[in-house]
Structure 1
Amino acid sequence: MGKQIFETLRLEKIVGGGQALGAMNDGRKAFVWGGLPGELVKIRITKKKSHFVEGVVTEVLEKSPERIMPRDENSYLSTSPWQIMPLSSEQTYKANLIEEAFRLHGVMLPEKIDVFTDGVEFNYRNKVEFSWFGDKTDNGTRETLDLAFFKRGSKGKVVVEGTSLAHPNINKLAIEIRNLLRTKPVTARQLKTLLIRTDQQGNAVWQLYIKDRLADLISKEEATQLSAKGSEIIYSDPKSPASRVTERLNKFGGTTLTDTILGVTFNYACEGFFQVNIPVYEKALSDMRDWIDHENNLPTLDLYSGVGTIGLTIGGDDITLVEINEHAVAEMQRNITKLNRANAKAILAPSEKSLEYITGEQIVIVDPPRAGLHADVVRRLLETTPPRIIYLSCNPVTQARDVSLLQEKYEITHHQGYNFFPRTPHIEHLVVLDKK
């Protein structure tokens, strides 16, 4: 283990990644977790580059008046590093970051930026993935098994009993599973992750991803004693750090959940694509629906569509949905069949390989990953000029980049921010673009 390096510095502002920015004595920029603008802090450097460093606050020497005590004092940096500020400050910072992203790309937003929140700061997440940590007991005879999250800025872990962001039933079930596994001859090294998900009614399902093919790790009788409607034990290739399904070893009950979004019922798998904060997502969908031209009955194209929660709720009858993930498309197709949407078409393909569907005759909805729109999609939109583009983004920086290119033929009609993930730096932003 290398020697730890500490530095004392003054923090200046919050930047796009969510860290606070300061300057080292040698002039390098420092991107710091756990600090607020104006604070004098001592940091532990976690990454060194020629022009910048990254670090974590170890001591606050001069506190900001905004600083509050994080609810998850030991683990907040792993899950929700903005627990150190009130929600009102978080809302301001998020609005400022949206404005800065667009200003840096030369885009003037027509209205003052507003970020919607329903005021729910905690217990909103319907999905959590836990890691595992093991340590020897006092007598060294066996390992104590604990739930854990990875420490931000290191490969270490922090032991947890849950997270305040999660639905209470998730934390409750996680402890039950941990306690059950403590009675088993299994170590943390043999386990990968525990994924737990709930619907809006609090019904929970779980998947335990393991690195060894452990036969009968949990019996059917034991599984039915847990506060869950269904579960799976999954062997996941230990060579991959991600929790991917290599082989489904055991299944107890169903692991498919059902939720209603704007009156439309969706089924989704425990490991499937689905929103983690449905009430705020419904607000965003309601706002987007106002910009769908239902009167003229234009067809709608939904790119990067996931399981179809946007297109199948607000997209109208004639909707084409394009998604790259085969599992999401399978769920989408099942939802289309269940909803009896004969004119809805599900396309399994990358959006940039489905350019023929962008004809210029439809309203186009895009909800891309953090990387934003593929350059080929932007080019095709500019070639065909559909009358309206409705662009929901989880990364205002790449959204601003794309909008700056689309402004060649489009103008911003509407924009709105959404706080899908309170106590974290993540921001969602909606832009409606109309052809000039």
Structure 2
Amino acid sequence: MKRELTGIRISRVDSRGRGRGIHTLSDGQERSVAVPGALPGDLIDVGVRGRKAGTIQGCLLALHETSHPRREPRCPHFGSCGGCTLQDISYADQLLLKQGTVEAAFREAELTELLPEMTPILASPREFLYRNKLEFSFGAERWLDEEEILRAEAIPDRRGLGFHAPGRFDRVLDLRECHLQPDPSEAIRSFLGDLARERGYSFYHAREHRGFLRLLIIRTSLTGDLMVTIMFGEDDQQQREELLQALGEAFPEITSLNYVVNTSKNDSIYPHQVVLWRGEPFITEQCGDLRLRIHPKAFYQTNPEQALRLYQAAVALAHLRPEDLLFDLYSGIGSIALYAAGRVRRVVGIESVEDAVEAARENARGNGIGNALFESGEVEKILPQVISREGAPRVVMVDPPRAGMHPAARKALATLAPETIVYISCNPRTQAADLREFIPNYEIAHLQPVDMFPQTRHVENIVLLRRR
């Protein structure tokens, strides 16, 4: 296989947001080429990285022609950090790419002929500084850039604090700046990095599973509340108290300061106890008229301003009535259910994570909402018993994880056959695959892409299904 392909014309994007073109072999056979960062109409040279399922996997080496001019990325880490991979593309072109990604997901699922005309994607109010949560990793061995490698000089301190380099669980890109989260995220990260180096604290070594500092989680909110959670890889009380004391004194505005001790091999916070060191055990987020309590382990949309617009669009598509019984499957901390509660007679949320269910109930009480009920359990297992007690809903809203709905949950919902299903997804590929279960008895009445994640290839999508 050639290491470089020249003159590849990109004709479309696929469901992963990659540009697609065709390479013709010497014997006349054609091979599909997938290139991240390439857009329809681009004429490019491609570096070949491999081949998968008959498709050549490549990277963009040179751009010869384009109708989508590239721009100078705002972030100096662009190209090394795997986060904001679209920074060199105008926001208008990012939106076109994401709309094309949703279209490709339904085309690949062979649903194109069943689709209505897609509504233009809903743009985010902010292109940068939109996230309310970031997780930064402490790494004993940071990622070295090309210049450092070419200098071939000894580097006495390899510690880094930032994001993992693409495809490398054991290398952390030491961030100088990041444009995803508003202040004081940058100041806190910089302060902790400097303090740790000054005091000689060890950073986590992912291969050897040792090191004091492991993870920094910062959550901001539209109300101005601020939560910081630090994960320690070793249970050193003296160093822990010193660090937390210094951080608390430097940033007295922290609403909730927490820590986790995790000596296991898994970086996840969820199996471990979160200890409140100072302040409140939660922060408060604003979503329209709702005030939602967010605890350290809670999932909430990371673009809070756009989250409100997502919920507004989903509720509008549902055409709710005052007499309706509404089910919200995969309800999380109850944000969608509670947003819709004032428009229906009763809303029932089903969620498998017990902490999220408790948070949803707490949020219902805190907002004075008495017609919302939240049930704990897996959708596929408890949906029948909830129906037997509450009755059959006219409208069901679904917002599953990226992997989509469990097959048994899809079957249970299809059997329930509500008049209207509103399916919200952060992964149009799994969403389109799930919808095939419902096609015999439902029409796809509306598609509404929503950009929750500017500068990235990720896109949210809302689908309205109406029973035939």
Give the TM-score of the pair, scaled to structure 2.
0.82
Q: 1:113 to 1:206 in 2, by over 3 A?
A: same
CA distance in 1, matches of 2:177, 2:315: 36
Residue equivalent to 2:465: 433
Q: Does 1:196 align with 2:218?
A: yes
**Counterparts of 2:274 and 2:103 in 1: how far apart (Å)?**
46
Per-residue deviation, residues 313-336 of structure 1 (Å, max 9, x unmatched): 113341111111122112112112
Alignment partners' CA distance in 2, 1:64 and 1:197: 39
CA distance in 2, matches of 1:42, 1:103: 25
- Equivalent in the alignment of 1:335: 363
**Equivalent of 2:72 in 69, 72, 76:** 69
DSSP 3-state at the match of 2:237: coil
Paired with 1:237 and 1:196, the residues of 2 have a C-alpha distance of 21
- 1:122-149 Cα deviation digits (max 9, x unpaired): 010111111123469x998973643221
Pairing 1:36-115 to 2, within 5 Å after superposition:
36-37=39-40, 38-41=42-45, 43=47, 45=49, 49=52, 51-52=54-55, 54-57=57-60, 59-60=61-62, 62=64, 64-66=66-68, 67-75=70-78, 77-104=81-108, 105-107=110-112, 108-115=114-121
State the partner residue of 1:121: 127
For 1:101-128, what per-residue CA distance to the aligned partner results, in whole angstroms no more than 9, with x for missing partners?
2233224322233101144210101111
C-alpha change, 1:412 and 1:22, in structure 2 (3 Å) is closer
For 1:63 and 1:237, how far apart are their aligned partners in 2?
A: 52
- When residues 70 and 225 of structure 1 are mapped into structure 2, their CA distance, relative to the original with a 3 A threshold, is same
Q: Whole-Å Cα distance in 1 between the matches of residues 324 and 189 of structure 2? A: 47
The 2-side partners of 1:103 and 1:113 are apart by 16
Cα deviations across residues 172-201 of structure 1 (Å, max 9, x unaligned)?
221122222223231222132211110114
Question: What's the secondary structure of 1:168's corresponding residue?
Answer: coil
Aligned to 2:420: 388
Matches within 5 A, 1:221-260: 221-227=245-251, 228-248=254-274, 251-260=277-286
| Separation of aligned partners in 2, 1:86 and 1:201 | 30
- Of residues 207, 229, 239 in structure 2, which corresponds to 1:207? 229
Equivalent residue number for residue 382 of structure 2: 354
Shift in Å, 1:432: 1.6
Q: Does the residue aligned with 1:386 lie in a helix, a strand or coil?
A: coil
- AA aligned to 2:218 is I
1:391 touches 1:432 (CA, 8 Å); kept in 2?
Answer: yes
1:149 corresponds to 2:163: yes
**325-334 vs 283-292, which moves further:** 283-292
SS at 1:84 equivalent: coil
Per the alignment, do residues 252 and 25 of structure 1 end up closer, same or farther by CA in structure 2, a change over 3 Å counting?
farther
What is the distance in 2 between the residues matched to 1:218 and 1:161?
26
1:405 partnered with 2:405: no
Which range moved further: 208-217 or 417-426?
A: 208-217
- 1: CA distance between counterparts of 2:51 and 2:104? 26
Two-structure CA RMSD over aligned residues (Å): 3.0
Q: Spell out, residue by residue over 1:19-43, the C-alpha distance to the aligned partner (whole angstroms, 9 max, x if none).
A: 3345678776554444445243453
CA distance in 2, matches of 1:292, 1:28: 43
Return closer, same or farther for 1:112/1:232 CA change in 2, 3 Å cut-off: closer
Alignment of 1:268 onto 2:272: no
* Greater Cα shift, 302-311 or 166-175: 166-175
- Report if aligned partners of 1:411, 1:433 keep a CA contact under 8 Å in 2: yes
- Residues in 2 aligned to 1:421 and 1:309: alpha-carbon distance in whole angstroms: 19
Farther off after superposition, 240-249 or 322-331: 240-249
Query: Cα distance, 1:415 vs. partner?
Result: 2.5
**2:148 corresponding residue in structure 1:** none
Judge conservation of contact 2:259–2:276 (CA < 8 Å) in 1. yes
Q: CA deviation at 1:345?
A: 1.7
Q: How many residues align?
A: 430
TM-aligned CA distance change 1:234 to 1:417, over 3 Å: same
Q: Which runs of 5+ in 2 are unaligned?
A: 143-151, 205-210
Distance 1:245 1:373, change over 3 A: closer
Where does 1:162-181 land on structure 2 (aligned, <5 Å)?
162-181=177-196
Where does residue 184 of structure 1 map in the other structure?
Answer: 199
The residue type equivalent to 2:247 in the other structure is A
Equivalent AA in structure 2 for residue 319 of structure 1 = V
Could you say if the C-alpha distance between residues 308 and 248 of structure 1 is closer, same or farther in structure 2, counting changes exceeding 3 Å?
Answer: closer
**Which of 410, 420, 430 is the equivalent residue of 1:378?**
410
Instruction: For 2:395 and 2:422, locate their aligned partners in 1 and report how far apart those are by CA, in whole Å.
Output: 8
1:16 matched residue in structure 2: 15
State the match for 1:161 in structure 2.
Answer: 176
Matches of 1:325 and 1:169 in 2, distance apart? Answer: 30
Which range is displaced more, 368-377 or 12-21?
12-21
Deviation of 1:8 (Å):
4.4
- In the superposition, relative to structure 1, how do residues 158 and 23 fare at CA in structure 2: closer, same or farther (>3 Å)? farther
1:226-285 per-residue CA deviation (whole Å, 9 max, x = no partner) reads 332232221123311434453446612235110121201110113311111112111121
Partner of 2:312: 286
Structure 2: how far apart are the matches of 1:396 and 1:264?
A: 28
Identity %: 24
Unmatched 5+ stretches in structure 1: none
Mapped contact 1:99–1:113 kept (Cα < 8 A): no
Residue of structure 2 equivalent to 1:301: 327
Q: Which position in structure 1 is the counterpart of 2:146?
A: none
Is contact 2:133-2:218 (8 Å) kept?
yes
Select between 29-38 and 223-232 the one with higher mean Cα deviation: 29-38
Alpha-carbon shift at residue 350 of structure 1 (Å): 1.3
Structure-1-length-normalised TM-score: 0.88
Q: 1:198 to 1:24 in 2, by over 3 A?
A: same
